[in-house]
Amino acid sequence: MKTAVVYFSLGGSTRSYARAEADARQAALFEVRPAQKYNPITAFVRGCPAARAQKSVPLIGPLPNLSEYDRVVLMAPVWAGFPAPPFNSMVELLPRGTTVEILLVSSSGDSSACADKVREQIQNAGCTLAAQRDIRVMRR
Ligand SMILES: Cc1cc2nc3c(=O)[nH]c(=O)nc-3n(C[C@H](O)[C@H](O)[C@H](O)COP(=O)(O)O)c2cc1C
């Protein structure tokens, strides 16, 4: 089975987990980057409202061609209870019919408040959600 792990990370923790996930599954790894970069302040001011509204943001290319994969694992940090906006941009990259897993990284390890909306978002994209998991970030 051909698997891709696609992720966004601001502070680096989702990147570490995404690398480990891709290693463990022998998957291709793709990082997406928003055209308008975030810093910790704009993440709160601009990113959190967009996250709650499940809005996407333009990404910098080249973008992965996800039609080559049987399964796509999407990974992103939780901002204000929802996946950070580049997650929504990743969902827009999914070809209809893709089998998707979602791994959300957060300090609480609890994204249950957005779980139903995210599941609906994947279904609306014409995809099948095979798994939805939380990762509680380890502080060093
Ligand atoms: C703008 C912002 C909002 C956040 N909101 C939440 C939240 O609602 N719940 C939570 O558990 N963690 C929240 N966090 C913590 C991040 O989800 C956590 O630090 C995550 O590991 C960051 O991933 P990254 O290092 O890959 O960017 C927030 C962090 C930021 C920067």
pLDDT digits (tens, 9 = 90+) for 67-108: 999 999 999 999 999 999 999 999 999 999 999 999 999 999
What are residue 50's phi and psi, to 5 degrees? Answer: -65, -35
What spacing in Å lies between the alpha carbon of 122 and ligand 1's midpoint? 21
Q: Among candidates 34, 64, 63, 62, which has minimal Cα distance to 50?
A: 34
pLDDT at 138: 81
Query: Is the Cβ atom of 10 under 6 angstroms away from ligand 1?
Result: yes
- Checking if the pLDDT of 15 tops 90, the result is yes
Atom of ligand 1 nearest to the CA of 40: 31
Give the per-residue pLDDT at 139.
73
CA 10 to ligand 1: nearest atom: 27
Of the candidates 99, 103, 32, 33, which has an alpha carbon nearest to the alpha carbon of residue 72? Answer: 99
Distance 123 CA to ligand 1 centre (A): 25
Q: What is the pLDDT of residue 53?
A: 98
pLDDT for residue 124: 98
And the tokens for 84?
A: 């950070």
107, 41 contact by CB (below 8 A) = no
Is there an atom of ligand 1 within 6 Å of 19 CB? Answer: no
Name the residue among 122, 68, 119 with its Cα closest to residue 91. 122
Tens-digit pLDDT profile for residues 33-61:
999 999 999 999 999 999 999 999 999 98
Q: What is the pLDDT of residue 140?
A: 58
